[in-house]
Amino acid sequence: MEERIARVPACSACADDCPSEGVVVDLAKCVRTDMDGTDICAATDSVLSRHTGCDANITGAILRACAMVCKACGDECERHADMREHCHVCAEVCRCCEQACNQLLGALG
């Protein structure tokens, strides 16, 4: 799942770049959402990478959380994407990750 792998660095980079824009107050929600996304996606990666089997209920819950945070982060970054390239990249990656999580949820049944 390349989308998950790319997601964490894209959000971390966006969160790091936002304060350098000089309008931190306007981007505070973006930074917070990026950081939430980074944490949730890292946890999702960890759960999905285990080779000892899985609990469909737990896997489903973490995938739903990941899809939710990806949507929120994508929506927030998209608001700033026309003025900030890092937000544009982050929004695109978030959309891909959201879609991947939803596809995995569908495969879980």
The DSSP result for 37-89, as a single string, is HHHHHHHHHHHHT-SS---HHHHHHHHHHHHHHHHHHHHHHHHHTTT-HHHHH
Give the pLDDT confidence of 29-69 residue by residue, as tens digits.
Answer: 888 898 898 899 888 888 888 888 888 999 999 999 999 99
Helix (H) or strand (E) holding 18: none
Q: Which of 33, 63, 34, 38 is nearest to 48 (CA)?
A: 63
Give the pLDDT confidence of 67-95 residue by residue, as tens digits.
Answer: 999 999 999 999 988 988 888 999 999 99
pTM: 0.85
So what's the architecture of 2-108 in CATH? Answer: Up-down Bundle (1.20)
Query: Domain boundaries in the chain?
Result: 2-108
3-state secondary structure of 94: helix
